[in-house]
Amino acid sequence: MTNDPTMTDAALTGQQVGLSPFDNGYGFVPAVGTPDPDPDALWLVFQGDRLLTVGETVPPRPAEGLTGEVYLGTQQGRQVWAARMTGDAPADQRFSRLRGLYGKLPDWLWMLGGYAYQIVEWDRTHHYCGNCATPTERDPNERARRCPNCGLSVYPRLAPAVMVLLTRVGPQGQPQVLLCRSPLFPPGMYSANAGFVEPGETVEHAAHREMYEETGLSIRDLRYFDSQPWPFPHSLMLAYTAEYAGGEIVPQPGEIEEARWFDHNNLPQLPGRASISRRLIESVVGPQPD
């Protein structure tokens, strides 16, 4: 597998595993510590959930206004740092929401930006101990913040979520998929059903529960498809397909605006290609136009 970050996506076809800085072949190696920043270090600078960019890449380290600098590791031997910026973007640069940068930045940089955002936000929101309010300290040996007073250790948050694409044979013998609309979706867009795993549940139990709670439908033959880190702000999406096992569609108020069966050749607007949901749907129905 190549580690050359200059290679095109076309050259990497069939080699990329998924949307993660750790498994995509671009050579990112995570690390902790506080080395002196190299002059040529890669800096991922955020203001809220917006990344500082210039053209189709990120600029060198800003001369001023940085806070919360965090060392992330190396990319092809080059140091990678993340930080927050308190002031305005310099001239010729801009802050843009990370989601909207998919397809505008190289994939390896977009994926790394997602990881950086998760770490920066975790670090920002855990400066004080949740047990005794003492200022926490970064652990020099692992990605954690520790309380010097009571010993509480805090690690980066991760919220697992399960996504299920339900399939069936329709009344006329045609293959169909169930797609749902969240009230938060853009107009006209549908996706596979998804929800967070609750404490005490397995992922499989969550898949059955979420589908029944949100649509009133039962499932069977749950089959794992793939996973994707989803840094908005700290989720891990686990995607599955399943077969319809009965029930009538009853959308859950406040969660599902509409749920419908769609023929494979008559689909609505689908999520963008940044999301695993698009890959999940296309794995069943085939490639779709944007």
Condensed to tens digits (0 to 9), the pLDDT of residues 96-137 reads 999 889 889 988 899 899 999 999 999 999 999 999 999 999
> What does the alpha-carbon distance between residue 85 and residue 239 come to, in Å, rounded to a whole number?
35
Query: Could you give the count of Cα atoms lying within 13 Å of 120 in the half-sphere of its Cβ?
Result: 27
Q: What is the 3-state secondary structure (H, E, C) of 194-212?
A: EEECCCCCCHHHHHHHHHH
Q: Is the pLDDT of residue 31 over 50?
A: yes
Domain residues for the domain of 204 are 159-285
Residue that is last in its domain, among 75, 106, 124 = 124
Q: Is the pLDDT of residue 5 over 70?
A: no
Distance between start and end Cα atoms, the chain:
29
Name the CA radius of gyration of the chain, rounded. Answer: 21
**Residue 95: CATH number of its domain:** 3.90.79
Kindly state whether residues 98 and 181 are assigned to the same domain.
no
* 47 Rama class: left (phi>0) / alpha (psi -120 to 50) / beta: beta
**Residue 172: CATH number of its domain:** 3.90.79.10
Is position 179 within any domain?
yes
Query: Cis (ω within 30 of 0) for the bond into 233?
Result: yes
Kindly state whether residues 104 and 28 are assigned to the same domain.
yes
Kindly state whether residues 164 and 270 are assigned to the same domain.
yes
Q: What is the mean pLDDT of the chain?
A: 90
Q: Is 71 exposed, middle or buried (0-12, 13-18, 19+ CB in 10 A)?
A: buried
pLDDT above 70 covers a percentage of the chain that reads 92
In this prediction, residue 71 carries a pLDDT of 97
In the numeric block, which tokens belong to residue 53? 């960019």
- pTM value is 0.84
Q: Is the pLDDT of residue 12 over 50?
A: no
Is position 3 within any domain?
no
Is position 247 within any domain?
yes
Q: Is the pLDDT of residue 242 over 60?
A: yes
In this prediction, residue 21 carries a pLDDT of 74
Is position 56 within any domain?
yes
pLDDT above 90 covers a percentage of the chain that reads 77
